């Protein structure tokens, strides 16, 4: 049961401009985002990480770089971690999108939301986005377990809606409730996928003590929950 440290990219130019970047090229970290990425990387100094996997988009790769340098592990690109395909919503102001009927569906019934097609930008539904990122992360987690054992720690860098979908899956609430979760820029969430249960150890932490997520050497190799609560 490896530990996944799930990271959202740092503050980007699209965040600063209030636009839905989607898969637009050339969306980079701002000065604020680069500072967040540097500080986040420093927090990994005492954490042994076996794999770092990232969305191929620039803002995620730029967030991953300081982290990967600290832990001494190269960044592996995983297409299934890339941003949701927002189609014709790509690059538009969030304030404008909030006036469209689809916005309410995205908020209140996300399992029914599909983004409009566009001649340049791919479009998908929120369900398709959720299915691909959950499948990818669970596949990679199984690979990490097979290669490095149940006490391994690995990192995935992705985007806000994908992080929220993974948190919703981890808690069993499903995509229908994924808008209840928050994923701030440069935040870290921690998940363990067990045979019997999936454990959400933390969510949306912006100043995390990452060493507390490293399994103790004598921790029992079980996917069961501790009755009465953990002992710390």
Model pLDDT for residues 13-67, shown as the tens digit of each residue: 999 999 999 999 999 999 999 999 999 999 999 999 999 999 999 999 999 999 9
Supply φ then ψ for residue 222, to 5 degrees. Answer: -135, 150
Q: What is the pTM of this model?
A: 0.92
pLDDT in tens, 59-108: 999 999 999 999 999 999 999 999 999 999 999 999 999 999 999 999 99
State the Cα–Cα distance between residues 14 and 92, nearest whole angstrom.
Answer: 10
Binned at pLDDT 50, 70 and 90, residue 142 comes out as very high
Mean pLDDT across the chain:
92
pLDDT in tens, 148-200: 999 999 999 999 999 999 999 999 999 999 999 999 999 999 999 987 889 99
CB 118: neighbour CB atoms within 10 A?
A: 16
Parallel/antiparallel/unpaired status of strands 188-193 and 75-77? unpaired
> What confidence score (pLDDT) does residue 227 get?
43
CATH 2.40.37.10 for domain 3-213, yes or no, is no
Burial of 10 (0-12, 13-18, 19+ CB in 10 A): buried
């Amino acid at each position: 049961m490896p530990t996944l440290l799930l990271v959202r990219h740092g503050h980007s130019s699209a965040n600063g401009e209030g636009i839905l970047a989607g898969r637009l090229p050339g969306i980079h970290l701002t000065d604020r985002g680069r500072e967040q990425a540097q500080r986040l990387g420093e927090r990994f100094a005492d954490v042994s990480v076996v794999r770092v996997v990232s969305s191929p988009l620039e803002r995620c790769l730029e967030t991953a770089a300081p982290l990967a340098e600290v832990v001494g592990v190269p960044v592996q690109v995983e297409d299934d971690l890339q941003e949701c395909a927002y189609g014709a919503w790509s690059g538009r102001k969030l304030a404008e999108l909030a006036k469209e009927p689809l916005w309410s569906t995205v908020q209140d019934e996300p399992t029914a939301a599909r983004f409009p097609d566009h001649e340049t930008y791919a479009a998908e539904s929120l369900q398709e986005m959720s299915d691909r990122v959950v499948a990818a992360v669970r596949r990679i987690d199984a690979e990490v377990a097979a290669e490095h054992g149940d006490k391994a720690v690995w990192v995935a860098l992705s985007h806000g809606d994908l992080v929220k979908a993974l948190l919703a899956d981890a808690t069993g609430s499903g995509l229908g409730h994924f808008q209840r979760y928050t994923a701030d820029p440069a935040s870290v969430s921690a998940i363990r996928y067990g045979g019997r249960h999936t454990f959400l150890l933390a969510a949306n932490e912006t100043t995390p003590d990452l060493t507390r997520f490293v399994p103790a050497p004598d921790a029992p190799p079980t996917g069961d929950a501790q009755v009465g609560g953990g002992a710390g």
